[in-house]
Every structure is written in C-alpha cells, then in structure tokens.
Amino acid sequence: MFVASLLTNPETPVLEPALIESLRNAWGGGDAVWLMPDVAAEFGLASVPDNLDSVWADLQELKVDVLVHPSTGRKKRLLLADMDSTMIQQECIDELADYAGVGAQVAGITARAMNGEIEFEGALRERVGLLKGLDQAVLESVLAERITYMPGGKTLLATMKASGGYAALVSGGFTAFTGPVAEHLGFDEHRSNKFVITDGVLTGDVIPPIFGKEAKVEALDDLTAKLGLTDDEVLAVGDGANDLGMLTRAGMGVALHAKPSVQAQADFRVNHGDLTALLFLQGYSAEEFVS
C-alpha cells in the first residue's frame, strides 16, 4: 500500500479540497485525511499511479507538491540534513565571498558544484582559496547578519526528537557555521569541514579530508550502525549534488527546493513546502507538531 501526500507552503496555503477529491477519484484513492487545513492532505493508494510524473508537473503550476510513498514505516528515527539552502536559506561560502569581494565568482562555482556540473572537492578548494586573507571575524559577522533559517526547522527537529529520533547536520560547509546552526535548531551532532586559520586569518586551505558526498554516506552508515537502525529508518534532506548519495540511500530522501539535476535523480521532491513538509510526509498532523 501507498500514500499520496499533497503539500504546499504554509505561508501561502493554496491546497483546495476540490483538488484532493479530484485526484483521489482519478486514482481510486481512499478517504482524504487533512494534516493541516489548506496546506497538507493525504489518501491511501493500492499502487503508484502511471501518470504520477505528469500530474506532478501540472500541480507544480499550482504551487502544490505531490509525492507517493509506501504507507508503512513512515516515521523515521534518524534525520540527516544538509545545511546550506536546506536548514538555512543561504550558502555560507557565498556570503563570505561577498565580504571578500569575490562574491560573483564564488557563487558561480557553487551553483555549478551543487548542480553536479563540476566535482565537489575541487570546487570547494577553489572557492576557499579565493577567501585567502579574509579576517576570521568575518565568520561571526556573516553568521549574525546574513544567515536566516528555513521555516519549520525547529519544529521538524523538536517533533522528531520527541518521538525518539536522532538528528545530525551533515554539511559540505564549515564548522564555524554548522556548530551554531546545529545548536540553534537542536541537532544532536554536526559534521562538516574546517578552515585553516592562522593568526586570525583564513589561509585559503581546508583541513583534510574534505567532507563531501561520500562523507555524507559514511555518516549515514556510521550513525545507523551506532543507533542500531536500517537505511529504511532514515530521513535525509538536501538540495545539492553532494547530497544525492545519502538521498538515494535513505528510506526517505527528500530533495528540498533542489537543483534541477538533483530533482531529476531524487525519488521525493518538495519545491513549495517548508521543512514541516518532512513531518507531513511522515504522517504527522499539525496538531502533533512540537514547538
């Protein structure tokens, strides 16, 4: 058995009962269950519809996401989350580069790396090299002045952890940011890269090894072994090509507001919901959210 989940942005609720009923009837689905009025609803299905892709494309025009997934084992026990453009709304290295006067150059490299056009490790080294000479104090300035959180993050973490879940922030970014972000949102741990800093200045180097695509998969293996879980009990979320390894391994791997090449390879795509969409996909209603 399967579940069809329909979601939209809680800030602009546009999910109409008529749409749910029309799709439910067309697909021979069960009774509709509303998880949040005008925002999230679901119904059961006997099989995955043949026209799911075309319906998904049509609903994108209405700013509605539709996902079909197994009805069993929905509530996950491990959350693996990317940071940049996932738990926060920025790419930290791009913000640092703007301070350094190389913003456009670094942003271009970031976009190509996240879309899988160039190899992540080399792209990271190239971008960090362009930050050589940047004062360490800029790290705190960017964190304080430029970083904003993706809506729903704290609720996602608090709700999953209240049900016994464990949460790890796994980022190709840097500990200068993952540490404070993880603490603010309530992650149990964080894993990422480290700048080489000498006399309060960035040297343009990264302490090896690079934490990239393979390291995120290794984190999945490490944490499932440590917690006694299977891959099916993992929820992974990210937006870039370096997230694809963990997204395809996890029981539920969600490409959130992801790059085109990532969406093309991900089983689950959320383009309009915020991070609470990950709770709706697990079957939580808004009334069950923990603030």
Residue 79 DSSP SS3: strand
CA 72/CA 236 separation, integer angstroms: 17
- Type of residue at 244: L
Residue holding tokens 């200045």?
Answer: 201
CA 27/CA 48 separation, integer angstroms: 9
CA 254/CA 277 separation, integer angstroms: 10
| Strands laid side by side in the 65-70 sheet | 33-36, 40-45, 2-7, 65-70
DSSP3 helix / strand / coil % (the chain, rounded to 5): 40, 25, 35
Output phi, psi for 248, to 5 deg: -80, -20
Q: What is the largest CA-CA distance in the chain?
A: 66
CA 180/CA 203 separation, integer angstroms: 22
Question: Catalytic site residues?
Answer: 82, 84
Residue 80 contacts residue 191 (beta carbons within 8 Å)? no
As beta bridge partners, residue 42 has 5, 33
Chain centroid, CA 77 distance in Å: 16
Which helix (H) or strand (E) segment is 120 a member of? Answer: helix 120-129
Residue holding tokens 């964080």?
Answer: 190
Residue 273 contacts residue 63 (beta carbons within 8 Å)? no
